[in-house]
Chain A
Amino acid sequence: MSFISFSFLFFFLLVLAGRVWLGPHKNEKPYLVMLLAASLVFYGSFVPWYLLLLLFTTIVDYYAGHKIAQSTSPVYRKSYLVLSLTANLGLLIFFKYLNFLSGLSQLLLSLFRVHFTAPHWDIALPIGISFFTFQSMSYTIDIYRSKIKPERSYWRFLLFVCFFTHLISGPIVRAKELLYQFDRKRKIRLKVYLEGFYLIVSGLFFKMVVADNIGDYVNKFWKYGAADNMAAAVPLSLTVLFSCQIFSDFLGYSQIAMGTAYLLGFKLPLNFNNPYIASSFREFWTRWHITLSTWIRDYLYIPLGGNQGSQLKVFSALMITMLLAGLWHGAALTFIFWGLIHGLALVFERILRTNGFFEKKSVLIKVFWFVVVQATVLVGWIFFRSDNLGQASRIFNNLFNGGFDPENALAILPGLWFVIPVLILHLRALLTERGWIPAPRIVEKGFVGALMLYGLFTLYGKTNAFLYFQF
Chain B
Amino acid sequence: MRSSISNSKFNRIRNALIVFGITFAICAVMGLAFQQRHPSEAWKGTLPAVDPNDNYLVMEAYNDQAFDLYQLYYGIGDSIQAAQKADVLILGNSKPFFAFRNEAVKAFTQKTGIRVFNLAGSYGDNLALAKAFIHQYHLSPKILVINENHFFSTALSPYGKETIEMGYWQALVKTMEHHLSWFIRFHLHQVFPRFALGKIYGSTPVVEYRSTRTGCLALENFMQDYAESLVPVAHQRVTEETLTPTELKIALEFKKEMAAQGTQIILTSVPYGTDDMDHLDQWVRDPERRILVAKAEEPYEKVDVTAKTLALPLITVDSTGMVTFDGRHLDEASALRFTHLFFDKFLKSSEAELLLKAKP
Distance (Å) between the CB of A355 and the closest chain B CB?
Answer: 45
Residue from A449, A458, A461 having most chain B Cβ neighbours under 10 A: A458
List, in ascending order, chain B residues with CB within 8 A of A216's CB.
Answer: 62, 199-201
Using a Cβ–Cβ cut-off of 8 Å, how many residues does chain B contribute to the interface with A? 38
Distance (Å) between the CB of A124 and the closest chain B CB?
Answer: 9
Which of the candidate stretches A19-27, A134-142, A412-420 sits at the interface with the other chain?
A: A412-420
Contact partner of A213 (CB less than 8 A), chosen from B13, B22, B199, is: B199
Contact partner of B13 (CB less than 8 A), chosen from A190, A227, A407, is: A190
Distance (Å) between the CB of A217 and the closest chain B CB?
Answer: 6
List, in ascending order, chain A residues with CB within 8 A of B31's CB.
Answer: 454, 458
List, in ascending order, chain B residues with CB within 8 A of A109's CB.
Answer: none
- Is B285 in contact with chain A by the CB < 8 A criterion? yes
Q: A6-B180, A418-B198 are in contact. Are A446 and B16 (CB under 8 A)?
A: yes
Instruction: Tell me the residues in window 161-217 of chain A with beta carbons closer than 8 Å to chain B beta carbons.
Output: 190-191, 194, 213, 216-217
Contact partner of A459 (CB less than 8 A), chosen from B17, B20, B177, B195, is: B195
Which of the candidate stretches B186-194, B229-237, B245-253, B324-332 sits at the interface with the other chain?
A: B186-194
Residue from B9, B62, B197 having most chain A Cβ neighbours under 10 A: B197
A454 to B193, CA, bound (A): 10
List, in ascending order, chain A residues with CB within 8 A of B21's CB.
Answer: 450
Is there contact, CB below 8 Å, between A454 and B9? no
- Is A353 in contact with chain B by the CB < 8 A criterion? no
A454 to B288, CA, bound (A): 33
Is there contact, CB below 8 Å, between A458 and B24? no
List, in ascending order, chain B residues with CB within 8 A of A1's CB.
Answer: 173
Number of A-B contacts (CB under 8 A): 98
Is there contact, CB below 8 Å, between A454 and B19? no
List, in ascending order, chain B residues with CB within 8 A of A450's CB.
Answer: 19-24, 27
Closest to B27 in A: A454
A6 to B176, CA, bound (A): 9
List, in ascending order, chain B residues with CB within 8 A of A78's CB.
Answer: none
Instruction: Tell me the residues in window 303-322 of chain B with beta carbons closer than 8 Å to chain A beta carbons.
Output: none
Distance (Å) between the CB of A423 and the closest chain B CB?
Answer: 14
Is there contact, CB below 8 Å, between A446 and B19? yes
Q: A227-B287, A407-B285 are in contact. Are A457 and B188 (CB under 8 A)?
A: yes
- Is B12 in contact with chain A by the CB < 8 A criterion? yes
- Is B155 in contact with chain A by the CB < 8 A criterion? no
List, in ascending order, chain A residues with CB within 8 A of B16's CB.
Answer: 194, 442-443, 445-446
Distance (Å) between the CB of A419 and the closest chain B CB?
Answer: 10
List, in ascending order, chain A residues with CB within 8 A of B197's CB.
Answer: 414, 417, 459
Closest to A457 in B: B192
List, in ascending order, chain A residues with CB within 8 A of B23's CB.
Answer: 446-447, 450-451, 454
- Is B356 in contact with chain A by the CB < 8 A criterion? no
A447 to B25, CA, bound (A): 11
Q: How does the 8 Å CB contact mask read for A73-112 relative to B, with 1 for contact and 0 for none? A: 0000000000000000000000000000000000000000
- Is A115 in contact with chain B by the CB < 8 A criterion? no
Q: How does the 8 Å CB contact mask read for A410-453 relative to B, with 1 for contact and 0 for none? A: 00001111100000000000000000000001110111011101
- Is B181 in contact with chain A by the CB < 8 A criterion? yes
Is there contact, CB below 8 Å, between B63 and A462? yes
Closest to B179 in A: A6
A45 to B170, CA, bound (A): 8
- Is B28 in contact with chain A by the CB < 8 A criterion? yes
Q: How does the 8 Å CB contact mask read for B185-227 relative to A, with 1 for contact and 0 for none? A: 0001000111101111100000000000000000000000000
Residue from B13, B19, B177 having most chain A Cβ neighbours under 10 A: B19
Instruction: Tell me the residues in window 245-300 of chain B with beta carbons closer than 8 Å to chain A beta carbons.
Output: 285, 287-288
- Is A63 in contact with chain B by the CB < 8 A criterion? no
- Is B15 in contact with chain A by the CB < 8 A criterion? yes
Closest to B10 in A: A190
Q: How does the 8 Å CB contact mask read for A220-241 relative to B, with 1 for contact and 0 for none? A: 1001100100000000000000
Q: A1-B173, A414-B199, A442-B16 are in contact. Are A6 and B181 (CB under 8 A)?
A: yes
- Is A374 in contact with chain B by the CB < 8 A criterion? no
- Is A146 in contact with chain B by the CB < 8 A criterion? no
Q: How does the 8 Å CB contact mask read for A457-471 relative to B, with 1 for contact and 0 for none? A: 111111100000000
List, in ascending order, chain A residues with CB within 8 A of B12's CB.
Answer: 441-443
A158 to B176, CA, bound (A): 31
A416 to B200, CA, bound (A): 11
Distance (Å) between the CB of A307 and the closest chain B CB?
Answer: 44
List, in ascending order, chain B residues with CB within 8 A of A441's CB.
Answer: 12
Is there contact, CB below 8 Å, between B195 and A446? no
- Is A401 in contact with chain B by the CB < 8 A criterion? no
Distance (Å) between the CB of A142 and the closest chain B CB?
Answer: 37
Distance (Å) between the CB of A121 and the closest chain B CB?
Answer: 16
List, in ascending order, chain B residues with CB within 8 A of A447's CB.
Answer: 19-20, 23
Q: A447-B23, A461-B199 are in contact. Are A220 and B180 (CB under 8 A)?
A: no
- Is A362 in contact with chain B by the CB < 8 A criterion? no
List, in ascending order, chain B residues with CB within 8 A of A294's CB.
Answer: none
Closest to A217 in B: B200
Instruction: Tell me the residues in window 219-268 of chain A with beta carbons closer than 8 Å to chain B beta carbons.
Output: 220, 223-224, 227
A451 to B30, CA, bound (A): 12
Instruction: Tell me the residues in window 375-428 of chain A with beta carbons closer than 8 Å to chain B beta carbons.
Output: 407-408, 414-418
Q: A442-B12, A446-B23, A450-B23 are in contact. Are A463 and B200 (CB under 8 A)?
A: no
Distance (Å) between the CB of B342 and the closest chain A CB?
Answer: 35
Is there contact, CB below 8 Å, between B199 and A446? no
List, in ascending order, chain A residues with CB within 8 A of B15's CB.
Answer: 442-443, 446
List, in ascending order, chain B residues with CB within 8 A of A71's CB.
Answer: none
Is there contact, CB below 8 Å, between A5 and B177? yes
Is there contact, CB below 8 Å, between A224 and B287? yes
List, in ascending order, chain A residues with CB within 8 A of B288's CB.
Answer: 220
- Is A7 in contact with chain B by the CB < 8 A criterion? yes
A466 to B262, CA, bound (A): 49
A441 to B63, CA, bound (A): 38
A216 to B63, CA, bound (A): 11
Is there contact, CB below 8 Å, between B198 and A7? no
A residues adjacent to B (C-beta < 8 A): 1, 5-7, 45, 190-191, 194, 213, 216-217, 220, 223-224, 227, 407-408, 414-418, 441-443, 445-447, 449-451, 453-454, 457-463
Supplied contacts A7-B176, A216-B62, A454-B24, 9 more A-B pairs, CB within 8 Å = A190-B13, A216-B200, A223-B287, A417-B198, A442-B13, A446-B15, A449-B20, A450-B20, A459-B199
B residues adjacent to A (C-beta < 8 A): 9, 12-13, 15-24, 27-28, 31, 42, 62-63, 173, 176-177, 180-181, 184, 188, 192-195, 197-201, 285, 287-288
Q: List 7 A-B contacts (CB under 8 A).
A: A194-B17, A213-B199, A414-B197, A416-B198, A447-B23, A450-B21, A459-B195
